[in-house]
Structures are given as C-alpha cells and as structure tokens.
Amino acid sequence: MDLPSAARSGLLPALVEAHTRCGAIDASEAGRIAAGLRMPAALAWEAASSFPDFERETARGAEPVCVGPACLAAGAIAGPGQVAVECQHRCFEAPAAGEDAPFPESAIRLAGPLLAPEDTDWRGLDAARASGRDGVLAGLERSGLRGRGGAYFPVASKWSAALARERPLALVVNAEEGEPGVYKDRALLCRRPRRFVEGLAIAIEALAPAVTVIFLNGRAQGAMESMRSALESHGDILPAAPRVVRGGGGYVLGEETTMLNAIEGRKPVPRVRPPFPVESGLWGMPTVVNNVETIASLAVIFREGAAAFRARGTAAAPGTRLLSVSGAVARPGVYEVEMGVTIARVLEMAGGPAARPIVAALAGGPSGGFLPESTFGTPLLPGQLHATGAALGAGGLLFLDSPAAVRKTALYLAEFNAAESCGKCTPCREGAPRAHEMLASGNKAGLEDLLEVMAVASLCGLGQMAPGPIRSALHFWPELFA
C-alpha cells in the first residue's frame, strides 16, 4: 500500500510541530496527525515511534547537560534540575549545558577560503551561470572536489550519474550532522550562511532539480534560524525555493537512504542498495545527496577557479576541509585545513595540550577509531587512516589526555552505537549491544568474530563502521579492557 507523496511528506513536519507543542508523542497524537493527513494511523505511529526525540518529553524547566564524548571526557554529569542529553554539538565549550544557541564566531579558529569573511557579490554563481551545466560539471571535474560528508565520493561523478538518468531528479542537502563531536556544518550555517546559499544556487542551476530539500538536524535551532534568515534575505538568487525539513533525532538519520525515507514520511531505516539514490532515491527520482560543506565549497570553486582549489591539499584529495576539533586541547573549535594535514599539525594548530600530554585522538567518532600519539604523523586523507584502525569520517577529531579517557570514550561509543541501531538488520541490532557488553565486562572471547560479522553483514554504515572504535581501542590499549 502506498499513499500520495504529498500526504506522507507532511508527516515529519507535523510530528516536529507536535513534539515542540506537546512534548512526547504517543499513539493517540500520532493518530490525530494521521487523520489530518488522511493516512492510516498505524503508518504514522510506525514512523513517529522510530524517532528517539519524539519519545522524550521536552525538557521543560530542566537544564540540558551534554554527555557526549567531549563533554564526558571533560567530566560532565547531570545534577539536580538538569537532564542528561546526547551530544549538543557544542564540543568547543565542553562541558556544555543549556539549550542550543547560534554558533559563536570565536569558535572558528582557523579560516581558509571556505570560512573567510563572506563576500558581498555573487561572483561564484555568476561564473557558474555563464558556464552552463556542461561547464559546471567540467569545472567540478577539474577541481577534484570530493564529498565532505564522510564517503568522499567525487562530486562530479555523482552529479553526472544522476543526470544520466534523463528524468526529473531531486537534490537533497544533508544537514543532519548527528555524529557526536562534529559541528562544522553548524559553523557554516550560522556564521557563513551566504556562502551556503550561493553554493546551493549553483547546484540548483546545474542540476535543475524538480525538488530541492534541506534536511536539518531537529535540535540545531541556531542553525535553523540562521539558515532561514539567509534564505529569506537571499532567496531571490535561487532558481527555486528549497523545502526545509527537520529531523526527529537518531544518528542513523545521517545515512542518506534513511534520510530519504524520513523525508517521504516513512519509518527512518536504511534501504537496501542497489538501487543507489542517484538511480532511484526520493520518491523514486534520481537523487543527489550532498552535505552542507560540499554545497558551500561550490561557491569557493567557482569564485576562485578550479585550479586555485586544486592548488591546496593533495593531488588525490584537493582543497580544504573543515575539522571539528575538541577535547583536551588549548583551542578547541573549527579549523579549515588543507587535505592531507597530519594529526600532529592539527594538534599544534589547536595550541597543543590544554594541560596533560595527549595520549590519543579519536578520528571519525562512532564510525571511526582511536589513534595513539605515535601515529599522529598520519595525514588526514580519505582511506589513509584505515591502516591504523580509524577513519576521517565527517571531520571530527577528539583529543584525549589519559588512558582512562580512552576507555570511557570507547565504552560510550559502543553503547551509543547499540542505542542508535535502527533494528532493521540482525548483525547491528543484536551485535552492537552484545559488543558493548563484552567490551565492558572484559569477556572478549568471540568478540572479534562478532565485530567481523557486523562489519561485513550490516545493512548500512552504522553497523558496518561500529566495530572501528572497539577494534582500535583493543589493538592499541588491550590492557584497558582486560
């Protein structure tokens, strides 16, 4: 049974509004929403009950206290009159408490072309328009831009694959940014929204999508307000207005097919691939999914030229990228660095240790891994960290100053991945909680076999990458989990 897309696509916005107004959503409230959308109550409740935020009462009168990895390492704990919440993405001020707020300019620690003060003209968009679609695709090919969401797929190849279907397509901007320890997209939306809007206009001009959707993390209130203001102020440069959809929580929403299901008003779980989104994505249309940093980079490429973009970084991974640096460093915040910079250089940029010597770095968050200080000469490049048991991911880098912090963070990530599993596939649903139990108890017999099954048989990146932090922690610090 399927429903007209217009009805189903109104479900998630209605759930977000109801949660803001009423708090936790129960089956009766989901039924009321379903009646208004003329859809079966069971389908509405199936979706609503799968978003973790909608199961929770809004923290009325209670101050939220972040217990994400950076804040946990900084000693965060919820006291009287406070409520513990997952990563608030304000790791630059760990331990963080209070409601979401606009990203402060002071937390941008190192700016390159992407984070430089915004321009007053639209030179990048003008250049893209003058080039036409073929010229834009050629410029992207020359620039070597890879997606900045974690997979690092060549952007020109993704766009060309969608356009090759020769039918109406969709453009979706992934602004979910739900990975603990990552906040660089919030920095762009809050502090450089004009650059994002220009990049979005370039993408819409080149792709001519039938529909454009910006999918934003439901808790990112500051980013939402800033982005909406920018769209209202500069929306006249956009060939078509985008639709903004807010999520309902859940790390797995960052997975692109899960996000597409959420936008369509379906249960937020990954789809089996193939087909891939560029073949059949949102409402069956060929769909391009790019994240905020990737979209904003378009404005830089077409303003400066592809050659200038390629002059930074490496031949295989050109340009700059944004890193969310947190933990036991003197100057946590967002750093725009050239692709290929070493972890040691990032630590130096961040002012070195805040107090005690750094013993480890977590790269890639729940989907990454731990690296000891002896590996800090490793360049931050796609695939380069795999040999050391980590992954660059979306650009989160958490520095830790004690073995105890490594153990605490590893256990947190194992528990986090178990809690965030959508439950659709058995290897992740059953394997992640069991892996956490085995790591915490020190009873590791069979753990590696379990992690291998998760890595090769899980449906999406959450289960496939969840073994990373556990494996790397055990490899470099086995004594912590005896």
Q: Where are the domains of the chain?
A: 5-55, 63-99, 109-310, 319-399, 402-472
Would you say 209 and 169 are in contact if contact means Cβ atoms under 8 Å apart? yes
- Give dist(CA 413, CA 419) in Å, integer: 10
- Give dist(CA 156, CA 168) in Å, integer: 18
Instruction: Give the model confidence (pLDDT) of 390-430 as tens digits.
Output: 888 899 999 999 999 999 999 999 999 999 999 999 999 99
- Of 473, 187, 467, 474, give the one whose Cα is nearest residue 324: 187
* CATH number given to 402-472: 1.20.1440.230
250: left (phi over 0), alpha (psi -120 to 50) or beta: left
Task: Return phi, psi of residue 396, to 5°.
Answer: -90, 135
pLDDT of residue 390: 81
- Give dist(CA 296, CA 92) in Å, integer: 22
Helices (H), 311-387: 343-349
Q: Helix, strand, or coil here: 353?
A: strand
Strand arrangement, sheet containing 211-216 = 243-246, 211-216, 170-175, 287-291
Fold of 109-310: Rossmann fold (3.40.50)
Would you say 435 and 400 are in contact if contact means Cβ atoms under 8 Å apart? no
pLDDT of residue 59: 52
pLDDT of residue 404: 96
Distances (CA, A) of 116 to 65, 188, 234, 292: 32, 11, 19, 16
pLDDT of residue 3: 46
**Please, which residues have CB within 8 angstroms of residue 430's CB and are 6 or more apart in sequence?**
none
Amino acid at 459: L
- Give dist(CA 150, CA 387) in Å, integer: 17
Amino acid at 58: T
pLDDT of residue 385: 79
Distances (CA, A) of 200 to 51, 125, 221: 28, 9, 20
CA angle 434, 69, 78 (to 5 degrees): 100
- Segment holding 169, helix H or strand E: none
Fold of 319-399: Ubiquitin-like (UB roll) (3.10.20)
Please list the ranges in the chain whose pLDDT falls under 50: 1-3
Q: Which residues pair with 214 in a beta bridge?
A: 173, 244
pLDDT of residue 5: 65
Q: Helix, strand, or coil here: 361?
A: strand
- Of 31, 2, 1, 4, give the one whose Cα is nearest residue 15: 31
Helices (H), 235-341: 256-263, 292-304, 306-310
Chain centroid to CA 67: 18
Would you say 8 and 266 are in contact if contact means Cβ atoms under 8 Å apart? yes
- Give dist(CA 42, CA 20) in Å, integer: 22
